[in-house]
Amino acid sequence: MGNLCALLNPKPAPPTSKKRSSSIRREKKKLDDAAIRDQAIAAAILFKQHQQQQKQNFDRSTSLRYPNGVSKRNNSNSNTLPRSSSSRARSLTDPLLQPHQLVNQGVKVDDLETNHFVLVHGGGFGAWCWYKTIALLEEGGYKVAAIDLTGSGVHSYDTNNITSMSQYVKPLTDFLEKLPESEKVILVGHDFGGACISYAMELFPLKISKAVFIAAAMLTSGHSTLDIISQQAASDDLMQQAQKFLYANGNDLPPTSFDLDKSLLRDLLFNQSPTKDVALASVSMRPVPFAPVIEKLNLSDLKYGTVRRFYIETPEDNAIPLSLQENMINASPPEKVFCLKGADHSPFFSKPQALHKLLVEISKIL
């Protein structure tokens, strides 16, 4: 939200000036209120349209360190690698750009290996969190699907009854299974969504052109998301304060899910995000199922390892600090690493234009 401007007028103005000034202020307030109302209505309509479209198509409801060619793929052992030009310093504000300004004019969207993005939300979020990214990508000519995982967003299921990763990601795996054999997508995972797209990459490697991890859990085989979280838990007071474990099966049994304290959401997840998006999240987020978080993934080089991976770092992140992101990157180096300057844990809110530009750039990497 913008800063409130104080109107100072030390000298008394004539009655006609006061009337004119008052009229201008009333008119400005009407315009501001109308703009905010129009934004909210547009976002709600957009999200509803996507849910209806995905239900019709698939019968269910559905956020440089390593240069090109340098990865496990070509067995490079270089220790000092140049950053991508996309990690250059950016303004802390997210400049408003039109979609055509964000697209590399040298490559047409229709000529790409795939122009189809599939967006997978993080723990507690839902497809609703991608509303800005959906609009920007579609206006740029891309096809977009945003998935509600089981018990998330508008998916009507009790989170406490989710007992496995396969159950949690079923909306995503169903979506991929129903894709035509010749069609590929770019999977994008945020937060815990990183573990979810990793699970899908192991199942459907031939249907995934690229995988993008945004401030996400990027695991190595035999590890769980809890293994990653535990690396910071001891020193992260904010995360410990925010987590509230739920015990639907009784206090003497493991937790079934965990929720986040709404009063700490801004500091933990949205410290650089607009107030209106924080408000949206505070009434839309749901508990995170615990069983998938502690499930260890089996990821093979022959399946998961064949999908091209990219990582987008969020340096202002209080939920998954940059140091933890870099630990995951070093443990399993992706093809490229981008740093989204000024982004908090939710760059689809805090840096939507810059995030969009990176997604477009990644889609056009040959």
Residue whose C-alpha is closest to residue 211's, from 334, 321, 348: 334
- Which tokens sit at 339? 């740093």
Identify residue 360 by its one-letter amino acid code: V
Is the predicted pLDDT of residue 51 greater than 60, yes or no?
Answer: no
Residue ranges of the domains in the chain?
60-363
Catalytic sites, residue numbers: 191, 317, 345
Is the predicted pLDDT of residue 158 greater than 80, yes or no?
Answer: yes
**Residue that is written with structure tokens 């998006």 in the block:** 277
Distance of CA 285 to the CA centre of its chain: 14
Dist. CA 361–CA 28, nearest whole Å: 38
Pick the CATH number of 60-363 from 3.40.50.1820, 1.10.150.20, 1.10.20.140, 3.60.21.10: 3.40.50.1820
Q: Once rounded to an integer, what is the mean pLDDT over residues 326-338? A: 97
Give 11-32 pLDDT, tens digit per residue: 444 444 444 555 555 555 445 5
Q: Once rounded to an integer, what is the mean pLDDT over residues 335-358? A: 98
In eight-state DSSP terms, residue 296 is P
Q: 155, 61 in Cβ contact below 8 A? A: yes
Give 132-141 pLDDT, tens digit per residue: 999 999 999 9
Is the predicted pLDDT of residue 276 greater than 90, yes or no?
Answer: yes
Residues 6+ apart with CB under 8 A from 105: none
